[in-house]
């Protein structure tokens, strides 16, 4: 029988994936596909279904709980006989590094343990390990010391190296920056990018660190089991009104009343409070309407301290999309109450 993998360089294909636990549908008709070498960021607040999707792709969820067409490295995880092949083709870096590292052993011994469970050639695996350790700047003087003596950042990088020892086609990382100092988070992300560039490994990064979008080729936004978006972050941002141009306005005594005033201006599409005294405003026909907005605010006694223009970043896009969904849901609730002859008239 032919593999169901398309002829192009698709690494992961997900078509109409739905996952149900008992009464709860936790993933709802999700479809996307991923090409070789792409870095995919999976974003969404806790409970959105990110880990569940990854668990389907990594053969951790029984077929009775899910439906849809899923292909990982050319193989379908719904068939048990494909599991060992899929697991050989993928790597997994868990959220907590103690789940894939032995802290009382040194890094090279950790590699040995991992290679023996995969039935790999020990010498070759050590060579690969040394190459990975070098890419990841794991200092040579730590290679033969206990992992427990390594710094937090070094442990995290070692955990990534272990996930890559068998040269997987796809690497899954669950929250690689959670628990890492804010100042070190970007380091982790740039190491992932570096690995991706050196090895051409396809990567899935689950994260609520919205800065991670910077290294992603595609970003998935999930909410309550639904995939709201799946595209390059640039494309998603430029689909906002006026291509994502924002006016960042600092306002004296900013409160809900002032925000309502801004929202009332005709061409304003979205107002986000991004600081104590700061809002970001998206509008249609930005260039034309910005001076008109300023005039309108002035006439309505809104005291502007400063104004600058910028392009929305991924964080804003994420906030806006989640906000829009919440609004839609509220409107649906209200119309449901109305149609049932309920309390809102
Ligand atoms: N094995 C399971 N049995 C029942 N419910 C589950 C199971 N795994 C996950 N869930 C539920 O599915 C939803 C999505 O969870 P998860 O995929 O872990 O979200 P995320 O990773 O986006 O935070 C949550 O409401 C969670 O409680
Ligand atoms: Mg999760």
Q: How far is the CA of 51 from the centre of ligand 2 (A)?
A: 4
Residue whose CA is closest, atom 26 of ligand 1? 47
Instruction: Tell me the domain boundaries of the chain.
Output: 10-231, 240-336
* Ligand 1 center to 25 CA (angstroms): 10
CATH tag for 10-231 (out of 1.10.357.10, 3.40.50.460, 3.30.450.20, 3.40.50.300): 3.40.50.300
Domains 10-231 and 240-336 share a fold: no
Q: What is the dihedral of CA 259, 264, 265, 268, to 10 degrees?
A: 70
Output the pTM of the full model: 0.89
Name the residue at shortest CA distance from atom 6 of ligand 1. Answer: 21
Please tell me the CATH superfamily of domain 240-336, with its number: ACT domain (3.30.70.260)
Which residues in the chain land under pLDDT 70? 1-7, 337-345
Question: By alpha-carbon position, which residue is closest to atom 12 of ligand 1?
Answer: 26
Q: Measured on CA atoms in the order 253, 256, 257, 262, is the torsion positive or negative?
A: positive
Q: At a CB cut-off of 8 Å and minimum separation 6, what does 294 contact?
A: 304, 307
pLDDT tens track for 86-129: 999 999 998 888 788 999 999 999 999 999 988 899 999 999 99
pLDDT at 281: 97
The ligand 1 site (C-beta within 6 Å) comprises 21, 24, 26, 44, 46-52
Mutate to test the pocket of ligand 1, among 22, 23, 47, 205 (most ligand atoms within 8 A of CB): 47
> Is residue 250 exposed (0-12), middle (13-18) or buried (19+ Cβ within 10 Å)?
middle
């Amino acid at each position: 029988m032919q593999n169901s993998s398309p002829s192009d360089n698709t690494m992961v294909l997900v078509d109409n994936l739905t996952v149900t636990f008992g009464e709860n549908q936790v993933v709802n008709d999700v479809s996307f596909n991923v090409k070789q070498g792409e870095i995919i960021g999976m974003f969404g607040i806790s409970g959105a279904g990110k880990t569940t999707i990854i668990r389907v792709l990594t053969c951790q969820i029984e077929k009775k709980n899910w439906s849809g067409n899923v292909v990982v490295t050319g193989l379908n995880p719904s068939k048990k006989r494909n599991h060992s092949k899929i697991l050989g083709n993928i790597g997994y870096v868990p959220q907590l590094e103690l789940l894939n590292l032995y802290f009382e052993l040194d890094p090279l011994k950790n590699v040995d343990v991992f290679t023996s469970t995969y039935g790999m050639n020990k010498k070759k695996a050590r060579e690969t390990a040394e190459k990975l350790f070098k890419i990841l700047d794991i200092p040579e003087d730590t290679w033969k010391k206990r992992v427990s003596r390594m710094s937090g950042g070094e442990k995290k990088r070692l955990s990534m190296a272990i996930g890559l020892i068998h040269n997987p086609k796809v690497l899954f990382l669950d929250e690689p920056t959670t628990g890492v100092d804010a100042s070190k988070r970007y380091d982790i992300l740039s190491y992932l990018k570096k690995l991706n560039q050196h090895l051409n490994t396809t990567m899935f990064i689950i994260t609520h660190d919205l800065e991670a979008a910077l290294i992603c080729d595609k970003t998935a936004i999930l909410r309550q089991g639904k995939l709201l978006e799946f595209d390059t972050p640039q494309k998603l941002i430029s689909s906002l009104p006026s291509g994502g141009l924002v006016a960042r306005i600092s306002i004296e005594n900013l409160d809900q009343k002032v925000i309502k005033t801004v929202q009332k201006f005709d061409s304003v599409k979205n107002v986000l409070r991004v600081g104590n005294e700061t809002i970001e405003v998206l509008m249609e026909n930005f260039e034309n309407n910005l001076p008109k907005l300023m005039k309108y605010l002035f006439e309505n006694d809104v005291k502007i301290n400063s104004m600058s223009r910028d392009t929305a970043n991924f964080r804003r896009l994420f906030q806006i999309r989640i906000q829009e969904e919440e609004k839609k849901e509220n409107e649906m609730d209200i119309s449901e109450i109305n149609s049932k002859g309920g309390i809102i008239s």
